[in-house]
Structure 1
């Protein structure tokens, strides 16, 4: 009588995309996380308005006012320095994670921190961002709210018994909800989650993120003025003749994205060489911000009015060039100094300014070219082409122009990928030794059957072999750790390991038993030849076995798969990725010969 065999499921259980209770639980949780992200965005904007009024107008109010309305003079130099000194103290004695624009920190928490963020970050990040922007920092609110929304989702998830993957889902849901509330771009927020934060596309994460985004969008229509954030009248209609101009804008904004990213980290390196504590760096950087404010006060603060003016085409070329240069310099120096702020709004201004300049020479008008420039630079800097295109469409309300936006966005993305090793986000992580790959591909273990990698010429042990002879065999042979045991019809009886054989010597009936006797009541897990390697890998990892037998429908041994065999899947994938062959031309040449 043979030992009982247990067939391994042909598919990896984790690849089953059916809706289960865990995903339903995440959907319910995402309703609360989405609401938290929206409320966090509302609170952040109120805090920015409050800080602006306190720093520039000297009174307590949450009414939105532009810094350009304040009395100019020495305050333009002193106020940014004061705000940066406060941020330096908060970072030194609070949390260093409030430095920078927040998205790299969110990515790091997802990939390396099991999606756990601290309550301190959730509190200090929006507060520091409000002080930074309110005192004149040339940033937007999107980076801080992405980190703050992510912290809300992470803290909520940490209150329950959830896995790291489930915490990641709620962290990203909170981040996307915050972005939706700030910019009224629900579709772009979902794509940002997919292209930048999630590092997967699975129902268990996609559906809860969309749920949180839609909840936040509903709240936004209650908390803020509905409609696009930057509406403008475009004189251009969709036409194929505009595609070359969109591609040209994609090229120049892609190059600008590279220049800005390289410039940011060169400036950051310069600050690291200073012989003073990093707590003082933001104050030094803010001196440049104040000087830029003296040249052009419109570079201070979020600069949302600049985006609207660029789209409306209400700025002269000289004003656009001044905005492009001064805004670029003060933003790079300030962010490189380690203060708290975002990147999306400054990138929109810089890409829009470059596009508006090009719009004086390209067809379609200044407003259209400014919008294409915004899509291009977001795509090139963040390595998120779909997000860049859809964000520009949603934030302006011109969804019909998506084909042109996609042309500019993907072109800038291609330029960035070819000429820059990492995005503006992942470069910061790489400098910390965290090398992040922002590419998606199907796991080859999920598509490769066992028959493609199994070893067919297997050395086996006969079932009628005595236990003493088996022990002698293992003492003599050291090539393999385990061997399959078969009967006269090549039916699998089980697997014998070296450790098990050596333990048999302690049995009193050791000399009277055969391998078939010893394996009679032991259950053996087996797999079919069409079982996917992902299921084999999971079993070998969970069971700590080195080998899994492969049998046919009659229980006859056809091969074995070892842990080393599974590495062949990776090798085959690399060969298919890198090996370049010609078939049609080669066949024609052989026929002629």
Structure 2
């Protein structure tokens, strides 16, 4: 990395830290605003302290409140910006992939306000989705105010989004992994350092503006036995299949709303009626529900209540999200996964009392593996559970369960809950983070395999004055960069031993040839592996036949 690039990295890092400071304050404001709207709607008091909407005494009137909130959000989306609809992360991903990470500045204040109205009136969402979307919008806005590249703007967008998550939960490592897995689609110093600094700043904001300690406190967990590890991994498999069904149902409901003969502005209000009706029969489904997650992780919630919370929270959230209101996915997924894991753990204890598993551990791996299966944010899921609870003995069970859930999702579901919406619009989301082939291959690796050295040259001196200098040991990435900036179809390559001798002519065809060699190497490795497997099978078959003859 050149000195100029390092200076740019420092500038982007300082901008990312600035965004993180601002988004930490906005995160506190959002939480207080949610509490205020909740207290006004359900208790008629102008108060910013936390009170669960589940304790309300409104009777049937509770059905109307989420519908009113949905109607207000529909009007804000119609006259403000349609981009406030949805759960935030897919919309940010779409802007990163298709619009040079440009998000309308209005989203930075419309999203938190609309989300506070929805959640405060009973919407079954958490504060983390809206603050991630708000942080991304703020980062993108800052990036548009300065003369920076689209990739640098992407980094600031990701820094703002993940700093918001870190400010809400105090989980900076998980926030960095979220940026890598769902927003950056790369792993490099110029991307990771600004994001990491922003997430650290967000975590400091959490300590200052919220509280210290784990955001989801739970009883201390013991190190599991091998039998318990196997059971936890099996629970992860079951949760993986549940995450498949959950994702499909959410988008099926969205398709149903698309068929309604009504303007989309009315959909959130219709979804709000369903949310209110479900909340009337199951009040714990209303609102953020972080207290529900803590209760489930305690391992002391009755089975009947867990069954009710799991089913009705999912139904309420799926309808609300499918209606296109302003909400998020993380908190509902954690609630649904945690209750599902605790239910499975209870059943295992009931039929196998000597299994050695813990209900609290089963709930923790349930909520983490649900997020891993639904979003395929594998590392984010594991580190979030560890940071949010500070339970180090949960590491191995989390690895087993999240890996199992991830495998089920990978093999049985083409898109995730985060990518399905944008995939339907024809937008491809990267699913692997391989190093740049052109950085690993030098010019000398492709010389003589498509390059030419002939009469196209004049004098060496003239070429050195009019062409950028390439050496045979330079990486192809440098050659491509110089080729693009010089507006030439080809560039001379000078030898490493004799710097005055032109040994080849580098063209765009050499770049294509490099990619061809890379793919041929991978294909050949696959063929060789297949041949080895075939030979091994033949050897085993021959030995079996020989054994039968000897008998």
TM value normalised by structure 1: 0.84
Change (3 A) 1:458 1:429: closer
Question: Which residue, 474, 477, 481 being the options, matches 1:538?
Answer: 481
Residues 31 and 235 of structure 1, relative CA distance in 2, 3 Å threshold: closer
Q: Is the CA contact (8 Å cut-off) linking 1:456 and 1:558 kept in structure 2?
A: no
- The CA distance in 1 between the partners of 2:534 and 2:138, in whole Å, is 59
Alpha-carbon distance, 1:573 to partner: 2.7
- Contact 1:385-1:406 within 8 A present in 2 as well: no
Q: Is the 8 A contact 1:85 1:283 kept in 2?
A: yes
Is the aligned partner of 1:548 residue 2:491?
Answer: yes
Given the alignment, which residue of 565, 570, 582 partners 2:515? 570
Pairwise CA distance, 1:191: 1.1
Residue equivalent to 2:428: 435
Q: Within the alignment, does 1:581 sit opposite 2:527 as a pair?
A: yes
| Deviation (angstroms), 1:390 | 0.9
Alpha-carbon distance change, 587 to 448 in structure 1, aligned in 2, over 3 angstroms:
farther
TM-score, length basis structure 2: 0.90
Per-residue CA distance 1:85-142 (angstroms, 9 max, x = gap): 1011011111011001111111122222222222210111000100110111111111
Q: Equivalent residue of 1:560, what SS?
A: strand
Aligned-partner Cα distance in 1 for 2:177–2:263: 39
> 1:231-271 CA deviation, whole Å, 9 max, x = no partner?
11145324433321221122111111111111111111111
Contact 1:45 1:141 in 2 (8 A): yes
Residue equivalent to 1:352: 338
Greater share of helix: 2
CA displacement, residues 289-340 of structure 1 (integer Å, 9 cap, x when unaligned): 1221122111111111211121112222222112111111111111001001
- For structure 1, which runs of at least 5 residues remain unmatched after alignment? 1-14, 463-482, 486-492, 495-515
Q: What is the match of residue 62 of structure 2?
A: 76
Structure 1 or 2, whichever has the larger Rg, is 1
Residues 1:529 and 2:515 aligned together: no
The answer to which of 44-53 and 450-459 deviates more is 450-459
3-state SS of the aligned residue for 2:106? helix
The alpha-carbon deviation at position 72 of structure 1 amounts to: 3.5
Cα deviation 1:542-561 (Å, max 9, x = unaligned): 11222223342334443333
Could you say which residue in structure 2 is the equivalent of 1:8? none
Q: 1:264 aligns with which of 231, 250, 260?
A: 250
C-alpha distance after superposition, 1:203-238 (max 9, x if no partner): 222112121222222222121121111111145324
Hey, what does 2:230 align to over in structure 1? 244
Distance 2:404 2:519 in 1: 27
Query: What secondary structure does 1:214 align onto?
Result: helix
CA distance in 2, matches of 1:25, 1:242: 49
Distance 2:268 2:23 in 1: 28
Q: Distance in 1 between matches of 2:446 and 2:242?
A: 47
Shift of 1:160: 2.5
Say which SS state the counterpart of residue 226 (structure 1) adopts: coil
Question: Following the alignment from structure 2 to structure 1, what is the Cα–Cα distance between the partners of residues 33 and 477?
Answer: 49
Q: CA distance change for structure 1 residues 187 and 416 in 2, over 3 Å: closer, same or farther?
A: same
1:150-229 matched pairs, under 5 angstroms: 150-229=136-215
* CA distance 1:523–1:31, shift in 2 (3 Å): closer
Asked if the contact 2:284/2:292 (under 8 Å) is kept, the reply is yes
Tell whether the 8 Å contact from 2:229 to 2:397 is kept in structure 1 after alignment.
yes
Q: 1:369 to 1:158 in 2, by over 3 A?
A: same
Structure-2 change in CA distance of 1:274 and 1:584 (3 Å) = closer
Quote the Cα distance in structure 2 between the aligned partners of 1:355 and 1:18: 51
Shift of 1:405: 0.9
